């Protein structure tokens, strides 16, 4: 028994822990939600992690992103994430991928035959591209939807995307996936909390429509978010991933 994971083994048993040590998980998007998802996976003894993000740590990340510290400003998030995972579990095999997901790169970013992928992307087009590829390849997928503007942790839910409510991001993702004929049977982490109307956003200059916060390459509205809620989204995704991985090995 690895002493680092003694309490996991006491909870789940030695066979389950062996399955987690053998598991390969890719996390795409290492921001507020993704960073906490990785934390939960690393501390659960996942044996192989592939961490994908194109961005660097910025001061505006500090309120909610696990890797955002004064000491890490300006560094690629994937590199900081890799260092932290190895500090938690030196036996973990960790790949840091500094790249962006789109229609041309999605397959490459996923990696070779992961057991599960957590989608923690906050941009609409890359999110749809990634999910489309994952469903086509039959790779188990957990998608994290909109955590911004939420305050109530008791409203965090897990449901397949066709049963997600009160989530603008989830609604648009569902519409686009339906147009592509993508199956809707993958689980999502979302909040059932009703959003305020009108939305309390700070729009960038010359941007009038809310959906423009979701596309890379466009100026984005600034949405308020809490470190507690975004962290819970990520940890919920990690918890579900562990459950799926353990049950798949039975």
Over residues 31-61, the pLDDT tens digits come to: 999 999 999 999 999 999 999 999 999 999 9
Q: What is the pLDDT of residues 95-147, one digit of tens each?
A: 999 999 998 999 999 998 899 999 999 999 999 999 999 999 999 999 999 99
Cα–Cα distance measured from residue 88 to residue 175, given in angstroms and rounded to the nearest whole number: 39
DSSP annotation of 47 reads S
Cα–Cα distance measured from residue 121 to residue 185, given in angstroms and rounded to the nearest whole number: 19
Cα–Cα distance measured from residue 112 to residue 48, given in angstroms and rounded to the nearest whole number: 12
pTM of the entire predicted model? 0.91
Cα–Cα distance measured from residue 60 to residue 203, given in angstroms and rounded to the nearest whole number: 16
Residues pairing with 94 in the sheet: 49
Cα–Cα distance measured from residue 221 to residue 93, given in angstroms and rounded to the nearest whole number: 37
pLDDT higher than 90, residue 180: yes
Tokens linked to 172 = 């648009």
Tokens linked to 182 = 């993508």
Tell me what pLDDT residue 206 has.
Answer: 40
Give the CATH architecture of domain 3-248: 3-Layer(aba) Sandwich (3.40)
Tokens linked to 123 = 């941009």
Cα–Cα distance measured from residue 101 to residue 188, given in angstroms and rounded to the nearest whole number: 19
* Distance, C-alpha 21 to centroid of its chain: 20
Cα–Cα distance measured from residue 51 to residue 65, given in angstroms and rounded to the nearest whole number: 15
In sequence order, which residues have a C-beta less than 8 Å from that of residue 239 and are 6 or more positions away? Answer: 40
Cα–Cα distance measured from residue 191 to residue 184, given in angstroms and rounded to the nearest whole number: 18
Confidence of residue 156 (pLDDT cuts 50, 70, 90): very high
Coil, strand, or helix at residue 31?
coil
């Amino acid at each position: 028994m690895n002493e680092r994971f003694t309490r996991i083994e006491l909870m789940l048993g030695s066979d389950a822990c062996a399955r987690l040590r053998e598991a390969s998980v890719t996390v795409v998007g290492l921001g507020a939600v993704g960073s906490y998802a990785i934390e939960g996976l690393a501390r659960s003894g996942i044996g192989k992690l592939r961490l994908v993000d194109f961005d660097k740590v910025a001061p505006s990340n500090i309120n909610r992103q696990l890797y955002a510290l004064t000491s890490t400003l300006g560094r690629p998030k994937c590199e900081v994430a890799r260092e932290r995972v190895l500090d938690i579990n030196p036996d973990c095999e960790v790949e840091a991928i500094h790249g962006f997901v789109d229609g041309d790169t999605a397959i490459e970013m996923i990696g070779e035959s992961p057991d599960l992928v957590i989608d923690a992307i906050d941009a609409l087009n890359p999110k749809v591209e990634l999910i489309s590829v994952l469903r086509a390849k039959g790779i188990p997928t957990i998608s994290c939807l909109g955590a911004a503007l939420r305050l109530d942790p008791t409203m965090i839910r897990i449901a397949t995307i066709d049963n997600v409510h009160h989530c603008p991001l989830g609604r648009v993702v569902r519409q686009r996936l339906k147009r592509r004929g993508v199956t809707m049977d993958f689980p999502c982490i979302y909040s059932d909390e009703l959003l305020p109307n009108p939305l309390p956003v700070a729009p960038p200059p010359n941007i009038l429509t809310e959906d423009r916060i979701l596309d890379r390459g466009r100026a984005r509205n600034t949405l308020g978010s809490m470190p507690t809620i975004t962290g819970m989204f990520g940890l919920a995704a990690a918890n579900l991933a562990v459950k799926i991985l353990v049950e798949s090995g039975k």
